[in-house]
Amino acid sequence: MSKLLDPSTESHIGITEGEGITMTWENLWVTVSDGKKTKPILEGLTGYAQPGRLLAIMGPSGCGKSTLLDALSGRLSPNIKHKGKILINGHKQELAYGISGYVTQDDALLSTLTAQETLYYSAQLQFSDSMPISEKKERADVTLREMGLQNAINTRVGGWGSKGLSGGQKRRLSICIEILTHPRLLFLDEPTSGLDSAASYYVMRRIANLVQKDGIQRTIVASIHQPSSEIFELFHHLCLLSSGKTVYFGPAFDANQFFASNGFPCPTLHNPSDHYLRIINKDFEQDAEEGFGSGITAEEAINILVKSYSLSQIKNKVNTEVANINQSDSGAVEKKRVHAAFLTQCLVLIRRSALNYFRDLSNYWLRLAVFIAIALSLGSIYYDIGFGAGSIQARGSLLTFFISLLSFMTLVGGFAPMLEEIKVFERERLNGHYGVTAFLTGNTFSAVPYMLIVTMVPGVISYYLCGLHKGLFHNGAEHLIYFVSVLFAIVMWVESLMLVVGSVSPNYVIGMFIAGGVQGIMILVCGFYRLPNDIPKPLWKYPLYYLSFQKYALQGYFKNEFEGLTFVIGHNMNISGREILRETWHVEMGHSKWLDLGILFVMIVVYRMLFLAITKSKEKLKPVFAAITARC
Ligand SMILES: Nc1ncnc2c1ncn2[C@@H]1O[C@H](COP(=O)(O)OP(=O)(O)OP(=O)(O)O)[C@@H](O)[C@H]1O
Ligand SMILES: [Mg+2]
């Protein structure tokens, strides 16, 4: 027997050994509120999904298929409430984070990786360390072949601005990632969208085969648009929805009889699913002039079917089945999922992110080019700045401009790639591939070399061209190192701010407004545009001035620049750098520039911890919110 097919390998490939997973939901209501009105999305659904069975959810667009999958997998958005019992093996328990795999309707993939790399990295994150790397790669290759991606393994995923995998290929790659470890419970939202009929059939057959693979029974719930008759034959159970109501739930092959007995028989040689969907679609009623014979509108047809189903024997059987399943205690599902060790995950994530940054020309490389252009411009405008009276103000303007521009350009260039990373992380975290600490470690360490490059090169150029702190040659490279260190800290702080903002607002435009607004205020109160002693005390000085990252960057820079220099301000009139710091720039002289730099790095750590806390509390608070909303 091939090792790949050996059931004994299951213990280190994903979810731990145990019984199959049965899900039941009873009288499930899902509602969304816009503050004034509450609108039901799902209305009193009852059903079940069993091991070894493929349950298909079908219905017209907007009928609530994705919402049902989200409700079952515990991923409803916070503004959506649900009522009713959702039980797993007869127990009330949270499902997300690792018990199940969920292929969502939108693909969240890193655009710079090839299909094969995407799956290799995923295999290294998901399989336990006890599995040899060659076997992980083999599993990934087999899965890619099974999904028909063998000709696209070296094609990059692609995204905005760079064409890569087609929409259907991306869909199949997303499926590959989740079926790689053969989870015992799998949700798929429109796995065949973007695929032609033949590809849809092969993909669905592969998914259907998973329900009984390696001697283990799996539970699969998939929403699907317009399946062909061959695909329809693969379904064990069918849940047919229309406007959030159950039109039919039961064995897929009994649906025909149900429709026929209500006056809507499927014409011979017609695809049954096409027939059902046409009858229950009321979105295009004005176009369906012919109706369904005898002048019945879609609205009326749906009402007949919904009513008939609610009074039918099939519905009674479903209720009995749900009650039986809930009574037979097959044990709570083991929450623990076997995957790579924490250190392995961190290393894999560092490698993956570093490769992503290296290939993504629009991220660090573009920033490097822009920063060099800015450094050259500054270098020519402030060339050899000198020690005259005018150079005092010029140094202040030059340093403040550099800090401000670097902050904003980092946000402009880095926010879109950061959101892409956060989206991929959210998908992988919800599916239990790794946790937030591993992500943060990977994100931080993979970016450090790039941040060093994008700050060191323009930093050195501007430093020398402008002739900043001529003491350089007497004091070694200390001043230059400090200058570059602060630039590095600024870029790292903006990235940390983007992480925090991205975790609360994964929407590009809103995120840009929030992060840009925060930066704008911090720059405004940094002590240059209004000198520290002149900043209005309530709010602006206490606390904003002291919370401003740019305040510490600027004070450190001023000390680095002016201390030890003497300026000529008139005939035989000199002024020391320390005096300028005190009198002109109102710099706090009680501590050294190194403390300012230290505070910058402490702030970076605080922002990153904030991201960790927000992401973790989102997880922790979810059951609390669910309990509160269930009572409301
Ligand atoms: N957060 C929300 N706020 C308001 N309405 C929502 C929200 N989420 C879903 N809806 C509404 O609920 C209904 C069901 O949405 P859902 O995404 O579940 O449909 P669907 O069956 O998956 O559609 P499709 O086949 O197009 O993916 C839709 O009418 C949608 O507009
Ligand atoms: Mg949907």
Q: Are residues 569 and 435 in the same domain?
A: yes
Domain presence at residue 332: no
Residue bearing the bigger pLDDT, 569 or 288 = 569
* Closest ligand (CA of 277): 1
Q: Are residues 89 and 131 in the same domain?
A: no
Q: Residue 476: its pLDDT value, please?
A: 58
If you average pLDDT over every residue of the chain, what do you get? 89
**pLDDT at residue 632 is higher than 60:** no
The structure tokens 């060191």 sit at 456
Q: Are residues 426 and 504 in the same domain?
A: yes
Distance CA 123, CA 140 (A): 7
Residue bearing the bigger pLDDT, 213 or 443 = 443
Single residue among 297, 327, 357 that ends a domain in this structure: 327
Query: Which residues fall within 8 angstroms of residue 423, CB to CB, at 6 or more apart?
Result: 108, 506
pLDDT band at 539 (very low <50, low <70, confident <90, very high): very high
* Closest ligand (CA of 79): 1
Ligand 1 centre to CA of 105 (Å) is 12
- Which residue among 29, 63, 629 is best mutated to probe the pocket of ligand 1, counting the most ligand atoms within 8 A of its Cβ? 63
**pLDDT at residue 626 is higher than 60:** no
Nearest Cα to 475, choosing from 388, 564, 540, 543?
564
Domain presence at residue 334: no
Q: Are residues 390 and 312 in the same domain?
A: no
**pLDDT at residue 7 is higher than 70:** no
Nearest Cα to 227, choosing from 248, 208, 247, 249?
208
**pLDDT at residue 112 is higher than 80:** yes
Task: Tell me the per-residue pLDDT of 368-391, one tens digit each, with 9 for 90 and over.
Answer: 999 999 999 999 999 999 999 999
CB contact at 8 A, 380 and 368: no
The structure tokens 């009574």 sit at 327
DSSP state of 581: I
Q: Which residues of 497-525 are buried (b: 16+ CB within 10 A; e: fewer)?
A: bbbbbbbebeeeeebbebbbebbeebbbb
Q: Residue 78: its pLDDT value, please?
A: 79
Domain presence at residue 542: yes
Distance CA 448, CA 451 (A): 5
Question: Which run of H or E residues covers position 150?
Answer: none
Percent pLDDT > 70 in the chain is: 90
Atom of ligand 1 nearest to the CA of 223: 22
Distance CA 361, CA 367 (A): 9
Residue bearing the bigger pLDDT, 572 or 187 = 187
Nearest residue by C-alpha to atom 18 in ligand 1 = 64
Percent pLDDT > 90 in the chain is: 76
Q: At 571, list the tokens.
A: 């005939």
**pLDDT at residue 414 is higher than 50:** yes
- Which residue among 34, 67, 192 is best mutated to probe the pocket of ligand 1, counting the most ligand atoms within 8 A of its Cβ? 67
Distance CA 99, CA 246 (A): 27
Domain presence at residue 335: no
Ligand 1 centre to CA of 61 (Å) is 8
In single-letter form, the type of residue at position 29 comes to W
Domain presence at residue 627: yes
Nearest Cα to 102, choosing from 71, 64, 147?
71
Task: Tell me the per-residue pLDDT of 134-182, one tens digit each, with 9 for 90 and over.
Answer: 999 999 999 999 999 999 999 999 987 778 999 999 999 999 999 998 8
Distance CA 468, CA 487 (A): 15
Task: Tell me the per-residue pLDDT of 581-617, one tens digit each, with 9 for 90 and over.
Answer: 999 999 999 999 999 999 999 999 999 999 999 999 9
Nearest residue by C-alpha to atom 30 in ligand 1 = 62
Q: In what order do the strands lie in the sheet with 80-88?
A: 38-49, 23-33, 80-88
How does strand 53-58 pair with strand 237-242?
parallel
**Which of 46-50, 237-241, 396-400, 571-575 shows the lowest mean pLDDT across its residues?**
571-575
Task: Tell me the per-residue pLDDT of 71-101, one tens digit each, with 9 for 90 and over.
Answer: 999 888 878 899 999 999 888 876 655 678 9
Distance of CA 544 to the CA centre of its chain: 31
Task: Tell me the per-residue pLDDT of 264-306, one tens digit each, with 9 for 90 and over.
Answer: 999 988 899 999 999 998 877 655 555 555 567 888 899 999 9
Query: Which residues fall within 8 angstroms of residue 212, CB to CB, at 6 or more apart?
Result: 52, 218
- Which residue among 31, 65, 223, 273 is best mutated to probe the pocket of ligand 1, counting the most ligand atoms within 8 A of its Cβ? 65
Q: Where are the alpha helices (DSSP H) in 268-381?
A: 272-279, 298-310, 313-327, 342-359, 366-381
The torsion defined by the Cα of 390, 395, 398 and 399, in degrees rounded to 10, comes to -160
Task: Tell me the per-residue pLDDT of 440-485, one tens digit each, with 9 for 90 and over.
Answer: 999 999 999 999 999 999 999 999 999 987 654 555 588 999 999 9
Q: Residue 4: its pLDDT value, please?
A: 36
Q: Residue 94: its pLDDT value, please?
A: 67
| φ, ψ (nearest 5 deg) of residue 162 | -140, 120
Q: Are residues 202 and 142 in the same domain?
A: no
| φ, ψ (nearest 5 deg) of residue 375 | -65, -40
Single residue among 182, 215, 230 that ends a domain in this structure: 182
Q: Are residues 247 and 177 in the same domain?
A: no
Q: Are residues 51 and 176 in the same domain?
A: no
- Here the CATH number for the domain that contains residue 21 is 3.40.50.300
Q: Residue 219: its pLDDT value, please?
A: 96
Distance CA 48, CA 20 (A): 13
Distance CA 169, CA 187 (A): 19
Q: Are residues 38 and 65 in the same domain?
A: yes
In single-letter form, the type of residue at position 226 comes to Q
Ligand 1 centre to CA of 462 (Å) is 53
Domain presence at residue 490: yes
Atom of ligand 1 nearest to the CA of 68: 18
Domain presence at residue 336: no
Q: Are residues 510 and 387 in the same domain?
A: yes
Distance CA 223, CA 235 (A): 11
Q: Are residues 64 and 115 in the same domain?
A: no
In single-letter form, the type of residue at position 413 comes to G
Single residue among 160, 182, 204 that ends a domain in this structure: 182
Q: At 59, list the tokens.
A: 């219905």
CA distance to 206, 427, 548, per residue, from 201 (Å): 9, 26, 58
The domain of 490 spans 342-631
Could you write out the three-class secondary structure of 250-286? EEHHHHHHHHHHCCCCCCCCCCHHHHHHHHCCCCCHH
For 550, half-sphere exposure in the C-beta direction (CA atoms, 13 angstrom radius) is: 25
Q: At 141, list the tokens.
A: 């290759």
For 281, half-sphere exposure in the C-beta direction (CA atoms, 13 angstrom radius) is: 18
Atom of ligand 1 nearest to the CA of 64: 18
Number of structural domains the chain divides into: 3
Q: Are residues 62 and 92 in the same domain?
A: yes
- Tell if the pTM clears 0.85, that is, is over it: yes
Domain presence at residue 583: yes
What is residue 608's three-state secondary structure? Answer: helix
Q: Residue 327: its pLDDT value, please?
A: 87
Upstream peptide bond of 543 is cis (omega within 30 degrees of 0): yes
Upstream peptide bond of 449 is cis (omega within 30 degrees of 0): no
Task: Tell me the per-residue pLDDT of 246-256, one tens digit each, with 9 for 90 and over.
Answer: 999 999 999 99
Task: List, chain by chain if needed, residues with CB within 6 Å of any ligand 1 atom.
Answer: 32, 41, 59, 61-67, 77, 79-80, 105
Q: Are residues 622 and 567 in the same domain?
A: yes
Mean pLDDT value across residues 536-555: 97
The structure tokens 């941040």 sit at 451
Nearest residue by C-alpha to atom 16 in ligand 1 = 64
In single-letter form, the type of residue at position 175 comes to I
> How would you classify residue 293: left for phi > 0, otherwise alpha for psi between -120 and 50, otherwise beta?
left
